[in-house]
């Protein structure tokens, strides 16, 4: 039998005097372990890779969230050529949806959290640690712990094609980022960003429009 323990304010572990872990507690722990670690179960890991292969996309291990369920229920759409680097987390509970276009790159520790709908376009790049969501944690009910209050949303969060987000960018609920925009590292996007913009800051503001290169820039002669 496993002994139960508690941690005091100094971080020291003490065995409780109330005795060993019960069978009910062990079953509850096992149930939670199977849920939280379900992606690591060998058969689920193989199924996730299979679902990505069918879509001509690729995921590097580990991947977190309810990816398998959302793929099978067609609430998670992933386009061909998209790559998820290790520790990407995609969560879409209930009827929530996530759509990711073709050729998009989600680097290490990127998280996409949907309450209703998050859309990411094709050929986007997200650097390490970005967070994209259409939700907000509730905190206004004094009768419940914050962790039990659920979420609200200001509407879908949409990111256009060819958007590049630097490291640790946060994109919040109801925001639209226009195509071919660049968001600077550590920015918090709380308002819409028009297409072809460079934006940065917390909260993010448009700094300037992108100066488009001409068709001849960097071109090689065809003669």
Supply the residues annotated as catalytic. Answer: 137
Backbone angles phi, psi at 130, to 5 degrees: -70, 155
Note every long-range contact of 214-219, with CB atoms under 8 Å and residues 24 or more positions apart, other chains counting. none
**Which of left, alpha, beta for 19 (phi over 0: left; psi -120 to 50: alpha)?**
left
**Paired tokens of 138:** 């509730």
Using CA atoms, how far apart are residues 45 and 61, in angstroms rounded to an integer? 9
Element containing residue 68 per DSSP (H, E): helix 67-72
Element containing residue 134 per DSSP (H, E): none
Residues 6 or more apart in contact with residue 30 via CB below 8 angstroms: none
Q: Are 193 and 164 in contact (CB under 8 A)?
A: no
CB atoms within 10 A of CB 206: 16
């Amino acid at each position: 039998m496993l002994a139960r323990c508690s941690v005091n304010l100094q971080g020291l572990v003490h065995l409780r005097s109330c005795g060993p872990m019960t069978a009910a507690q062990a079953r509850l722990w096992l149930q939670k372990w199977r849920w939280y670690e379900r992606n690591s179960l060998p058969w689920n890991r193989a199924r996730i890779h299979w679902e990505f292969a069918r879509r001509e996309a690729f995921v590097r291990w580990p991947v977190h969230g309810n990816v398998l369920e959302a793929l099978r229920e067609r609430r998670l759409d992933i386009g061909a050529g998209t790559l998820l680097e290790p520790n990407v987390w995609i969560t879409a509970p209930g009827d929530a949806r996530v759509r990711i276009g073709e050729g998009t790159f989600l680097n290490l520790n990127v998280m996409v959290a949907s309450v209703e709908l998050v859309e990411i376009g094709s050929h986007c790049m997200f650097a390490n640690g970005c967070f994209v969501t259409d939700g907000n944690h509730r905190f206004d009910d004094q009768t419940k712990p914050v962790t039990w209050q659920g979420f609200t949303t200001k509407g879908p969060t949409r990111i256009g094609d060819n958007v590049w987000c630097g490291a640790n960018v946060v994109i919040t609920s109801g925001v639209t980022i226009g195509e071919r925009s660049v968001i600077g590292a550590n920015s918090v996007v709380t308002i819409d960003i028009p297409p072809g913009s460079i934006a940065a800051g917390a909260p993010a503001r448009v700094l300037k429009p992108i100066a488009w290169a001409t068709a001849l820039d960097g071109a090689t002669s065809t003669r």
